[in-house]
Structure 1
Amino acid sequence: MEAARAKLTRVLSRIFINNVNDKAQRAMRSGSSFDGLAKYSTSAAAVVKDYEDYRKSLYGDITHKALLVDAVGTLVAPSQPMAQIYRQMGEKYGVEYSEDEILRRYRWAYGQPWGRSRLRYVNDGRPFWQYIVSSSTGCSDTQYFEELYNYYTTEKAWHLCDPDAEKVFEAIKKAGVKLAVVSNFDTRLRPLLRALNCDHWFDVVAVSAEVRKSCTPPHQTHTHTLS
């Protein structure tokens, strides 16, 4: 029954959208542009209202059953520029590149194909991030890498994008909407969310490195600084 309703919702959505688009085109072709667009505007509003009423008849006031959010750039963000951290931590290990040079080399390295797979992060992602760090800084020191890698699992390295995020997610949850973090990330995401005390906001945390599948198409993936 639920599957049938979901399918019907998708079909009606397409019908409503096509209906609006068709009426817009007819309005633009009409002899009286103003009159045509005015009629179109009224029709479009009616279509939207019809669809909203239909959804409400199925789900009540809840318009969505679930909300999926990405981690980096949506929920959390680095507290300092990546190149700054790489340089500061790397000074005692002999890193001499400027922050601009580190950033340039980082972007180049991140843009290179990673083996035969589109998935950069598998499990803890160490092999990939070791490659990124050494390529960005010219330093292959294991201790330097581990210091960077562990730093990006702490609350010092990250902050919430919105300080009022908890209130927002609580309100969404009270409305009966399920919440999930779905992110291209390695296995440090869960301890990071715990460190920021926001892991309990979500019903599900899906990590690409754990399921071994990219959570978004490659061109939509947010690059980040977890190393």
Structure 2
Amino acid sequence: MALMATTARTKLWRLLARASRSGTSYCNDRILSIPLYRVSSSSSPFSTAVTGTAPAEHRGFEILGVKEYEDYRRSLYGEITHKAVLVDAVGTLVVPSQPMAQIYRQIGEKYGVEYSEAEILNKYRRAYEQPWGKSRLRYVNDGRPFWQYIVSSSTGCSDSQYFEELYNYYTTNKAWHLCDPEAEKVFKALRRAGVKVAVVSNFDTRLRPVLRALNCEHWFDAVAVSAEVEAEKPNPTIFLKACELLGVKPEDVVHIGDDRRNDIWGARDAGCDAWLWGSDVYSFKEVAERIGVRV
């Protein structure tokens, strides 16, 4: 049965991949601690993730027969189609509250940073795109060496006090807010229904303090963060570790994330189902209902 489900899923993914190659906009701007996050084509580079439900005629899942696939999956697995939901952190669960360059400049002014926000953004992009030669991973432990390089390259300022203030800012609830205001209600409903939930994120060890600052760490049964797992998405290792922490098989899991390469391809390589946030699903309530849990 598992092989049949995997074969059907693979065929569907190929259809979806061909259908979704156009019309997707990605933002290559990252801030002090976060991975790539996705915005709509009409948004500014640092706008928050889009939520809400798009018209059915604009949504490839209905067009390409995903309802039939979901019905097929229910025939194999029962009314609740997945035993666990994995959720990406930045761009899916949480988003930055202010533009990165604005914060870098605002905090940096008292330390002598003179670059404009546009200059900071351009230098940041160039620095982030350079190979990180000190480790095979960017996010190792607390990520300080990597972020010190990024901050000094972006602003021209190597002041340690500046870096520490900026670094610590991104552990507070001022720096972040939740993408979906109904997230808590949905995750509680999932867990009541016996569906386990975990965060899977390319992040350093500040992720847990961020989740605590937003009072949402207790929503999850597990957290798989790349700095602890020592593997970054799209490496399937981090998804398999999340499955291990939850005690479920990859084929029983769906991962929700906003990055097609890191989240969708990575999760599928691990054998999980995967839906793209802001394209395949637009809210956590929709995720729950699609797997058969009423909220």
Do they fold alike, i.e. is TM over 0.5? yes
1:61-99 Cα distance to aligned partner (Å, 9 max, x none): 111122111100000011111111110111110000000
Identify, as 1 or 2, the structure richer in helix: 1
Relative distance call for 1:14 and 1:157 in structure 2 (3 A) is closer
Aligned with 1:130 (options 145, 148, 162): 148
Give the alignment's TM-score, normalised by structure 2: 0.59
Of 83, 87, 102, 1:84 maps to 102
Q: Which runs of 5+ in 1 are unaligned?
A: 21-43, 223-227
Match of 2:191 among 168, 173, 192: 173
Q: Equivalent of 2:92, from 74, 77, 81?
A: 74
Percent of aligned positions with the same letter in both sequences?
74
Residues 92-144 of structure 1 deviation map (CA, whole Å, 9 limit, x = unaligned):
10000000100110111011000164421100000000000000000000000
Letter in 1 for 2:156: G
Match of 1:61 among 63, 79, 82: 79
The aligned amino acid for 1:184 is: N
Deviation at 1:159, TM superposition (A): 0.5
Give the aligned partner of residue 153 of structure 1.
Answer: 171
Question: How has the CA–CA distance of structure 1 residues 58 and 78 changed in structure 2, closer, same or farther, with 3 Å as cutoff?
Answer: same
> RMSD between aligned alpha carbons?
2.6
Q: 2:6 aligns with which of 1, 4, 10?
A: 10
Shift of residue 12, structure 1, vs aligned partner: 4.9
Shift of 1:157: 0.6
> 2:147 is matched by which residue type in structure 1?
W
Structure label with greater radius of gyration: 1
Name the TM-score, length of structure 1 as normaliser.
Answer: 0.75
Q: May I ask how many residue pairs the two structures share in their alignment?
A: 191
Name the residue aligned to 1:197. 215
Q: Secondary structure at the match of 1:10?
A: helix
For structure 2, the 5+ residue unaligned runs are: 16-63, 236-258, 264-295
**What does residue 261 of structure 2 align with?**
220
Q: Is the CA contact 1:62–1:176 (under 8 Å) kept in the aligned structure 2?
A: no
Deviation at 1:57, TM superposition (A): 4.2
Q: Which runs of structure 1 show a deviation greater than 4 angstroms over 4 or more consecutive aligned residues?
A: 12-15, 51-54
- Counterpart of 1:95 (choices 103, 113, 116) is 113
